[in-house]
Structure 1
Amino acid sequence: MVSMKKAGFPNVIGCVDGTHVRIQAPEDDEPSFVNRKGFHSVNVQGICDQNCKYLMGLSFKAAFRPSSSVNSGESLFTNVSANWPGSCHDAHVFKTSVGIHLQDQYTSIEQGVVLGDSGYPCRPFLLTPFRQPREQREHNFNRAHITTRCTIERTFGIWKQRFRLLKTGIRMRPDRACKFILACAILHNIAMMLKEPIIDNDDIPEEQPMIQPYMGQQDGRGIRNHYATNFFS
């Protein structure tokens, strides 16, 4: 699970976000690959945790297994999806990829949650920030959420620094570029497990508190309010 040391956010099994990897303009369906910033890209979704092995498939039962072969605080990808052109929204990528598996596997709050930014829909298994926080507990929730969620941004940064083409651009057809991106994600995890040097190493995971059972309505907003009330009041 993601560390509570900095933010105090409990029961987190991963953080999700999207990042754009620049590619050359494709011959087929070229407009679809133009992202909101105006360049051609693949929208890559990543989910990371600090002590997990890379898995192409993700489920609550199998995906999040601690690995003793990795240094504490080193973030690995637990899921990567590189199948969508740059014009696709992050929420659509999530819904049509790992979101399907999480929806099928989710039964209760004790299984944990994934954290995503406001571009994603709030679901029982995917918590997003309060858009307009009013109470102090909601502000506290958002602060802890952002601090914890930056783990995926840091992982993307390390990944792109290790494989410079992910920053400068891949001169391949989209189908080959997607395979190259997935290979880089696998190699990133291998490098982490082999303890290759990284930028820093200051996120030490610690034991998380027991989450209280939730008997309310099983929707994203209900779960989010339960977290805000019990941990951030």
Structure 2
Amino acid sequence: MMMYRSHHPTTASLRREVRLRRYRQLLLLNAKLADPTNPLTKLSKESFHELLSIIEGDLDRLDNRGRPLPASYQLLLALHFYCTGSYQKEVGEQHGLEVSQPTVCRTIHRVSEALAQRYSQFVVFPSTTQASEIHERFYKVARFPNVIGAIDCIHMKISNPGGTMAEQCRNSKGWYSINCQVVVGPDMRILTAIVRWGGSVPDWLIYDNSRLRRVLEHGEYGHLVGDAAYQCQRYLLTPLPCPSTPAERSYNRAHSSTRRRARRAFGMIRRRFQCTARELRSNPKTSCAVILSCFALHNFILQRQGPQEDAEALYAPDDGPQDRFSGECDPEGESYRQHIIHEWFSSDAPEEERSGRE
């Protein structure tokens, strides 16, 4: 005769659960917040508490059911994940708390959503009155005129989302990613970012469908500099594919040095927030919120604490697809690029002399 085991919890298991809950509550009551100045968070204590004050209202629960984690611990757990990219189970074992993996997962989601909702407080596109100042600062980088920002895309790895989204997120190299378009200023601060397209979408298509393009076409900001994945347009200049004159080579060098600001910003982000250098294993919506949170924190830290001492040396290698734009040329963009070369680079010294000065 087959015997069936009861699924009702035994008295011993209930007592054990009560003891575990009481132990966790004791830890929550007595544990001290880890010093936010440690290498994990890269934040000063003042910056940590300022960041906490911004999102604390979204993290606190109205009831105390289940002894929820304090907002400070929720932020600390999320920062630990952002900065180390560790498995969520390992994150939950830090800071004196035995937090389960599902709790860590919910905490990261909650903190990321809170930061993403306040993204506009951290990432602000300059006004037209600020454009001339940005032009001057970019000009000091490599003598390239009227630049409002360096535009580039970076592929953030994600796990297979499955379903219809799988093919949308599979890039030309065969792995799954979110293709993130970012515009970076002269100080490597992010001016604007688009984080909602799958890895199969080419860079130029993201820009063509963006509000940013429509804003720039009003003609009040100057132009962007981007790589060969974009179409050369009046307000987005790309490098010449085959420079043949000293002026064209000077243009390409200045263009490359200016555009490199974006790759350096990516290098800073990937070094500071290791989760962006690894595969994000959450669903695509949460992955996008995590990426936006890291972009927002990048700006927050730059504004409060300035760039790292070795920021100029950081450079993110482009391990994502490097597809070139293969569509039709834009005559207006090609004409404007030649105008920039003639007006700003035709009087440069020969290539050998310029290379010696640099």
TM-score, normalised with respect to structure 1? 0.77
Bigger share in strand = 1
Name the CA shift for 1:142/1:98 in 2 (closer, same or farther; >3 Å). farther
For 1:166 and 1:4, locate their aligned partners in 2 and report how far apart those are by CA, in whole Å.
Answer: 30
Name the CA shift for 1:85/1:221 in 2 (closer, same or farther; >3 Å). same
Counterpart pick for 2:222 among 112, 122, 131: 112
Alignment correspondent of 1:157:
267
Q: By how many angstroms is 1:6 displaced?
A: 4.1
In the TM superposition, what whole-angstrom CA distance separates every residue of 1:146-170 from its partner, at most 9, and x where no partner exists? 1110000000110111111100121
Q: By how many angstroms is 1:195 displaced?
A: 1.0
Preserved CA contact (<8 Å) 2:155 2:178? yes
Alignment correspondent of 1:140:
250
1:130 counterpart SS class: coil
For 2:188 and 2:212, locate their aligned partners in 1 and report how far apart those are by CA, in whole Å.
Answer: 21
Summarize the alignment of residues 79-228 of structure 1 with structure 2, pairs less than 5 Å apart: 79-106=192-219, 111-195=221-305, 198=308, 200-201=310-311, 219-228=332-341
Preserved CA contact (<8 Å) 2:264 2:311? no
Q: Which moved more, 1:25-34 or 1:159-168?
A: 25-34
Alignment correspondent of 2:170:
34
TM-align CA RMSD: 2.1
1:117 counterpart SS class: coil
For 1:26 and 1:126, locate their aligned partners in 2 and report how far apart those are by CA, in whole Å.
Answer: 33
Q: Which moved more, 1:121-130 or 1:191-200?
A: 191-200
* Runs of 4 or more above 3 Å deviation: none
Identity across matched positions, percent: 32
Preserved CA contact (<8 Å) 1:102 1:125? no
Preserved CA contact (<8 Å) 2:223 2:234? yes
Bigger share in helix = 2
For 2:169 and 2:184, locate their aligned partners in 1 and report how far apart those are by CA, in whole Å.
Answer: 25
Partner AA of 1:163 in structure 2: F
Q: By how many angstroms is 1:191 displaced?
A: 0.7
Q: By how many angstroms is 1:199 displaced?
A: 5.0
In the TM superposition, what whole-angstrom CA distance separates every residue of 1:32-67 from its partner, at most 9, and x where no partner exists? 2111222110000000103xxxxxxxxxxxxxxxxx
For 1:136 and 1:201, locate their aligned partners in 2 and report how far apart those are by CA, in whole Å.
Answer: 31
Partner AA of 2:273 in structure 1: F
Preserved CA contact (<8 Å) 1:49 1:78? yes
Partner AA of 1:220 in structure 2: G
Unaligned runs of 5+ in 1: 51-73, 204-217
Partner AA of 2:338 in structure 1: N
Preserved CA contact (<8 Å) 2:232 2:333? yes
Q: By how many angstroms is 1:104 displaced?
A: 4.2
Alignment correspondent of 1:77:
190
Task: Say which structure, 1 or 2, has more relative contact order (CA 8 Å, 6+ apart).
Answer: 1
Alignment correspondent of 2:140:
5
Q: By how many angstroms is 1:136 displaced?
A: 1.8
Alignment correspondent of 1:43:
179
For 1:42 and 1:121, locate their aligned partners in 2 and report how far apart those are by CA, in whole Å.
Answer: 21
Preserved CA contact (<8 Å) 1:158 1:199? no
2:197 counterpart SS class: strand
Alignment correspondent of 1:64:
none
Alignment correspondent of 1:61:
none
